[in-house]
Amino acid sequence: MNIQAEYKSKLKSAEEAVKLVESGESWFVGPATATPAHTMNALCDRYEELENVGFCGTNIGAPIPFLVDPKFKGHIEYCTYFTRPPLERPMANKGMIEYASVCFSKTKYFLREVRNVTGMITGASEMDEEGFMWFGPQGASVNGMVSEMCNKIIIQVNKNMPKIPGDFPKIHISQVDAVVEMDYDIIEFPESEITEKEQAMANHILPHIRDNSTIQVGIGGLANAVSYGLEKKKNLVVYTEMLTPSMKYLDDVGALDPNKQITVGFVLGEHDLNDWAANSGRVFLQQNYITGQVAAIAAHDNFVSINACLLVDLTGQVASEGVGSKTLAGMGGSSTFVRGAALSDGGQSFICLPSTTEIDGKVTSNIVFGFPTATPVTVNRSDVMNIVTEYGVANIYTKSIKERAKALISIAHPDFREELTAQAKKAYFI
């Protein structure tokens, strides 16, 4: 059977395709740009026929009904390993979905051994002349690995999905059980604006970054402030979780090594960035569980890891996932990138946070004596190198508790330093 005949034999309506889903099974849904709302909605329409169907994934890109309606409990339920707004974060804190604290480097084990995933529903490109459908900007970060553990795969093909090269960016029609044809708009992720505090933090970090460094930066205004600030550096290498417009800018101005590919887990930007990633020959999508391995990170000399967090205590523990019992993000790859940077020859890591947060009109310090009850520790204090606020950089790597507390108090907001000092003295930290 040729590929066109095979494709036609597997072409189904969404309603027909989702009949492959049976009670008691565990399925994966493609992330963000790979979330096929049309097919998932068809599945939700038959929820009363199903019992104990578990879906998992991250950063769902469409308002699938089982995220928000309690009637799906016991029929179709969802677990995420990274909560992002506008959908997963609020629903996780309302008990509508589960959250699993899983580092990106461990997603293969989590999905195969813990969730026992055997099916996948995802968006992908139209089939090319060789019979492949491409997973696109976010789908390529995980879908290839998931496809290897599945015995049922449903693809919703979308002519708008860009074909970005990588280590496992596509799937062949022979591996697919059902194809649904339904185009949808590719979600865009506009750049975050850079705040005054974020720019101040970036200004503290930039002098520490040398030419020929390999860089990893997280998401948001801080990452943009750092990346754009690197424009005069030479022969930088990008090895990071996500490609942002600032990385393209660094390539455009000649700050990146032209002989090294830009290795990222996924693309996070607007259509022009997706097009550049697909056509420039510079970008290589590597699955996140591979990119985030400590040994792979440490293999790069002068590795620089830059990430944001929510809270830091006076001993150097870092909270990035949530505060108290409230989930605000996920583990992502921050802990492994911090550890990998510490093992890199000449490596450095910087974990950044504004010194204060205002909640309900009250200003609170983000450098604290101790975390609120139930706050998860995302990065172990033994791995942390540098903590950064708008007031400076505290190098606490392998320092004593006394040295850590003094350094962290020095970069806390001035209004809270006296209180933190008193708390530290009472605990005999200093």
Asked whether residue 233 falls in the same domain as residue 356, the answer is yes
| pLDDT of the residue at 93 | 74
Q: DSSP H helical segments within 288-357, as ranges?
A: 288-291, 294-298, 334-343
Q: Give 197-253 pLDDT, tens digit per residue.
A: 999 999 999 999 999 999 998 778 888 899 999 999 999 999 999 999 999 999 999
Ranges in the chain, pLDDT < 50: none
**Among candidate residues 154, 181, 208, the one where a domain is terminated:** 181
**Among candidate residues 181, 211, 238, the one where a domain is terminated:** 181
Asked whether residue 161 falls in the same domain as residue 237, the answer is no
Domain-located, residue 189: no
Q: Is the peptide bond before 86 cis (omega within 30 degrees of 0)?
A: yes
Q: Give 25-46 pLDDT, tens digit per residue.
A: 999 999 999 999 999 999 999 9
| pLDDT of the residue at 344 | 98
Asked whether residue 153 falls in the same domain as residue 11, the answer is yes
> Range of 62's domain?
3-181
Catalytic pick from 241, 390, 403, 418?
241
Reported as half-sphere exposure (CB side, CA atoms, 13 A), residue 139 has a value of: 35
CATH number at residue 358: 3.40.1080.20
Tokens found for residue 199: 């720019």
Our answer to whether residue 198 is catalytic in this structure is no
Asked whether residue 279 falls in the same domain as residue 333, the answer is yes
CA distance 357 to 157: 43
Q: Give 111-145 pLDDT, tens digit per residue.
A: 999 999 999 999 999 999 999 999 999 999 999 99
Asked whether residue 171 falls in the same domain as residue 230, the answer is no
Is residue 51 within 8 Å of 24, Cβ to Cβ?
yes
Identify the CA nearest to 59 among candidates 41, 77, 86: 86
Asked whether residue 122 falls in the same domain as residue 270, the answer is no
The number of angstroms, rounded, from the C-alpha of 133 to the middle of its chain's C-alpha atoms is 23
CATH number at residue 140: 3.40.1080.10
Domain count, the chain: 2
Q: Name every residue whose Cβ is closer than 8 Å to that of residue 106 and which is 6 or more positions away in sequence.
A: 289
| pLDDT of the residue at 333 | 87
CA distance 134 to 117: 21
190 by Cβ neighbours in 10 Å (0-12 / 13-18 / 19+) ranks as exposed
Asked whether residue 36 falls in the same domain as residue 143, the answer is yes
The conformation of residue 242, written as its DSSP 8-state character, comes to E
Give buried/exposed letters for 277-292 (b at 16+ CB in 10 A, else e): bbeeebbbbbbbbbbb
Domain-located, residue 186: no
> For residue 225, which phi and psi values (nearest 5 degrees)?
-60, -40
| pLDDT of the residue at 42 | 98
Domain-located, residue 259: yes
| pLDDT of the residue at 133 | 98
Is residue 350 within 8 Å of 306, Cβ to Cβ?
yes
Asked whether residue 87 falls in the same domain as residue 218, the answer is no
Domain-located, residue 191: no
